[in-house]
Structure 1
């Protein structure tokens, strides 16, 4: 079985995704729109925020009933430099239509947050208006390099996500230029906020000069302060989406709000 090596809930998700994507492979896609650079936004001075449009997750359950365009506009007004949009429908209640709506609402670079199991999804993400797509090393393993090349061919940037030292080595060898370090173990769903700083320092020691993104578990300003100077960006989902006051939540998190 394809992706049989992936354990736990992550394995369930990617195998289901594979079954859904495979019949679509080869279907014509719309001409992709012009989009801003994801890496360019993250490379701006200071710590960039990637704010996530997120309704639910396997670890949190239902998070928020929200209109993706409205939330995205408020994220942008609050100072987010990029927006992540979940499009996986079963475990995260996302959709491709959510990404289209966000693309029509803001001019920021968008990350299609999904479970990439076929190169077709990269061209699909680009046609939907995404600037970048997610590649999870825990899923792709030794295929990470070939998926990175497929992303290049599709004209889309890739956020290559790792959680441990072995995955970091795969990502570095594959030539990742935007490296996401996830504090959440995707097989146990447990979070350890020490993971990102530890692996971020290790990546720099290995000579990595690309962009570093810290992911998962952040909800307060004091939690992201240790990332400054080491990371280029932080991706925040649950705490922002659940806030209900999305612009203010972004401003407070990034130290720009009246209550920060």
Structure 2
């Protein structure tokens, strides 16, 4: 069920192949009850998924921050969900961050990682995530199988796309939450026109689920193009660079 990662280009391929080598199944705890990720984003207006993010391949080190402190500040500022990076090498995250944040806040958590093995979905559910990221650029035609496995585990999924072809695969797989990434994960270039363009296409194709815009947002005026079409926006670096995280959340989405 693992995808063939040999032809995945650029930084995305490097990270995904490294993560695949590191997956070694082990006994997991019983999964705790968790709130719904999808329903939290449907609460009206443009919801914010605030991300705990210490570093990235495009930015390098961003901020050395305690995951719990950041999550609590995000919750206080009005974020509807929290994305917790668990990739350790390029993003400085860990599963321990996910566990600690789950114990500290009541919001839905997204496990943000490069899922390339079904066991990573089991980990996400066992350690308190409401949802996991599924990247179509990695999973390809296997996206539907990973989505089914997530549902079997009681885990929701943010199915991420960057191109029209990836959007078609997400729609064919039956995704209920689709994230449109402005960043090309192979080249790391950002184009803020990507989310509105593919968002319009998704709605035109009859997608009535939750749409999430991702990457490149830091100012409230940049979100104007999303309103009325998108349900949520995911922001990491743009928040992490602000001294007062709670205030940054309030300023971004009101």
Q: Indicate the TM-score class for this superposition, using the shorter chain for normalisation.
A: over 0.9
**Which 4+ stretches in 1 moved above 4 angstroms?**
none
CA displacement 1:64-104 (0-9 Å, x = unmatched): 01001011001000000000000000010100011111111
The Cα offsets for residues 160-205 of structure 1, whole Å up to 9 and x where unpaired, read as: 0000101000000010000000000001100000000000000010
Shift of 1:5: 1.5
Secondary structure of the residue that 2:97 maps to in structure 1? helix
- Equivalent of residue 19 in structure 2, options 17, 29, 33: 17
Contact preservation (8 Å) 1:182, 1:214: yes
TM-score (norm 2): 0.98
Partner of 1:205: 204
Counterpart in the other structure of 2:178: 179
Please give the TM-score of this superposition, normalised by the length of structure 1.
0.96
1:154 positional shift: 1.2
Aligned to 2:7: 5
Structure 1: tracts of 5 or more residues without a match: none
Offset, 1:225: 1.7
Equivalent position SS for 1:64: coil
RMSD, matched Cα: 0.9
Q: How much has 1:244 moved relative to structure 2? A: 2.1
User: In structure 2, the residue corresponding to 1:243 is in which secondary structure?
Assistant: coil
Matched, 1:252 2:254: no
- What pairs with 1:122-141 in structure 2 (closer than 5 Å)? 122-141=121-140
Partner of 2:84: 85
* CA apart distance, 1:2: 4.1
Question: How far apart, in 2, do the equivalents of 1:99 and 1:28 lie?
Answer: 17
Rounded to whole Å, the distance in 2 between the matches of 1:227 and 1:208 is: 16
In structure 2, list runs of 5 or more residues that go unmatched: none
Query: In 1, distance between residues paired with 2:152 and 2:28?
Result: 15
Is 1:119 aligned to 2:118, yes or no? yes
Instruction: Number of aligned residue pairs: give it.
Output: 252
Mapping for residues 85-234 of structure 1, pairs under 5 Å: 85-234=84-233
